[in-house]
Amino acid sequence: MSLTFDNRVALVTGAGRGIGRAIAEKLGANGVTVICVSRSESSCGSAAEAINAAGGKAIACAVDVADGPAVAKLSEELITEFGNIDILVNNAGITKDNLLFRMTEEDWTDVIDTNLNSVFHFVKGLARPMTRKRWGRVINITSVSGIMGNAGQTNYAAAKAGMIGFTKSLAKELASRSVTVNAVAPGFIETDMTAKISEAALDMVLPQIPLKRMGQAADIANMVAYLASEEANYITGQTFTVDGGMTM
Ligand code: NDP
């Protein structure tokens, strides 16, 4: 199915590597102008370069998504430059796993700040012009951990579950302006984030996935591209799991 995008501009956080990069490249290949955001200049820079080299249009912006004032400043600059950001993909995320009794307050706060508070900062910075234009997409990358819970991930699961509640509430607030807000919940996807999972842990996980394998970043990018397209006009407030059947 070919997807329709009408001269759209997208901002993808965490676009330097993994799932975010696959999303940025997929949107870029569909003619969307992409603003690639990540923490380090080199990673978002190489994502933007790859999109431009493939004939798309992209720029790179390095910012810490947890830094509210920095995100507000960047949002203002981008709105001045582009007039409007049509598609916001909140994908940047980190894990700092530990059992609760061993988790430090810093590991709790870092994960909530990077994975959840960042979503608040970017939506505050970019969503108002979408409502004026009467068209917009906010797509939040949550996780099956936010749906099922996962031992060792109280911080991460709390942030990801928070994103789902945020998604539903914002969808209700913005629906009358034709701005849709959805979430995508990946299962186990092969990226740098999951490269740190031990062989032994993977041996326990894989049997619980009906498709018996990990997913690829492109599997998530395909769902995000669909939700960002014109074809998804009537979908809002939903969370779509892309997990090889793990949570059915
Ligand atoms: P990666 O670790 O491969 O990439 C994370 C990206 O996020 C990087 O580009 C990184 O920037 C960026 N990032 C992290 N922290 C910040 C920050 N403070 N400010 C700006 N950018 C930041 O992760 P994945 O691709 O695996 O994960 C992407 C999203 O998908 C995350 O939200 C994750 O929770 C979620 N997810 C992933 C799953 C998986 O199995 N991989 C499963 C379920 C959900 P830089 O490149 O500069 O370091």
In tens, the pLDDT along 70-114 reads 999 999 999 999 999 999 999 999 999 999 999 999 999 999 999
List pLDDT tens digits, range 224-242: 999 999 999 999 999 999 9
Which is the closest atom of ligand 1 to the Cα of 38? 21
- Kindly state if the Cβ of 189 falls inside 6 Å of ligand 1: yes
- Strands lying side by side in the sheet with 33-38: 57-62, 33-38, 9-13, 87-90, 136-141, 179-186, 239-242
Task: In whole angstroms, give the CA distance from residue 10 to residue 82.
Answer: 10
**What tens digit of pLDDT does each residue of 163-211 get?**
999 999 999 999 999 999 999 999 999 999 999 899 998 999 999 999 9
φ, ψ for residue 203, nearest 5 deg: -60, -25
What's the predicted TM-score (pTM) here? 0.99
CA-nearest residue, atom 39 of ligand 1:
189
Q: Is the CB of 133 under 6 A from ligand 1?
A: no
Q: What share of the chain is helix, strand, coil (3-state, %, to 5)?
A: 50, 15, 30
Query: 117-161: per-residue pLDDT in tens?
Result: 999 999 999 999 999 999 999 999 999 999 999 999 999 999 999
- 143 CA → ligand 1 middle, Å: 12
Per the CB < 8 A criterion, the answer to whether 44 and 20 are in contact is no
Per-residue b or e along 198-220, where b marks 16 or more CB atoms closer than 10 Å to that residue's CB: eeeeeeeeeeebeeeebbebebb
Q: Which of 25, 29, 17, 14 is nearest to 64 (CA)?
A: 14
211: CA distance to ligand 1 center in Å? Answer: 24
Query: Which of 39, 153, 197 has most ligand 1 atoms within 8 Å of CB, for mutation?
Result: 39
pLDDT of residue 1: 79
Task: Give residue 64 CA to ligand 1 midpoint distance, Å.
Answer: 12
Instruction: Tell me how far the alpha carbon of residue 132 lies from the centroid of ligand 1, in angstroms.
Output: 30
Do the Cβ atoms of 241 and 147 come closer than 8 Å? yes
pLDDT in tens, 24-73: 999 999 999 999 999 999 999 999 999 999 999 999 999 999 999 999 99
Segment 7-25 mean pLDDT: 98
So which residues are the catalytic ones? Answer: 156
> What pLDDT is stored for residue 26 in this prediction?
98
Measured distance CA(156)–CA(162) in Å, rounded? 10
Looking at ligand 1, which residue's alpha carbon is closest to its atom 41?
A: 189
